[in-house]
Amino acid sequence: MRKSGNIITIKGQEFRLYGKPLDQYWEVKGNKPAFSFSSNPLDTGYFAHWIIEDDKLFLLEFVGEIMFSLEPVSFESQFPGKALPLHADWYSGTLQVQTGKQISHSHHFGAALQYKFSIEFKAGAQVNITMHDTI
């Protein structure tokens, strides 16, 4: 598997997503898998692709690996009886994406871009979006 982290598609454009909407799902469910990850703080041990459509957050793709065994963790194992795309109605909070020209780069955290968007959700519905300069 080895791709890791969260990406999000907004109006046809992909961004790295800063935030972990699945953590709230596992808090309620009570059994987050012991994912395999590296020393990179952006590595989650799983890959999740999200999209915002009609002001709602949806999960489009999910795959993970169990620590030490590299056993795959599938969408079906985590969301039994559900289908993709899955409305993330469990998620309330703020997610961030960056855009614009690169202003710095860190080996562990990746590139810092010129602008940051904060997108606030309540029960999987977008309620606010704010743009900030990161310079």
For residue range 13-46, list pLDDT tens digits in order: 998 888 899 999 999 888 888 887 665 656 678 8
Contact 15, 5 (CB under 8 A): no
Per-domain boundaries in the chain: 5-133
- In whole angstroms, what is the distance from residue 87 CA to residue 134 CA? 30
For residue range 38-85, list pLDDT tens digits in order: 656 566 788 999 999 999 999 999 998 888 776 788 999 999 999 999
Contact 114, 131 (CB under 8 A): no
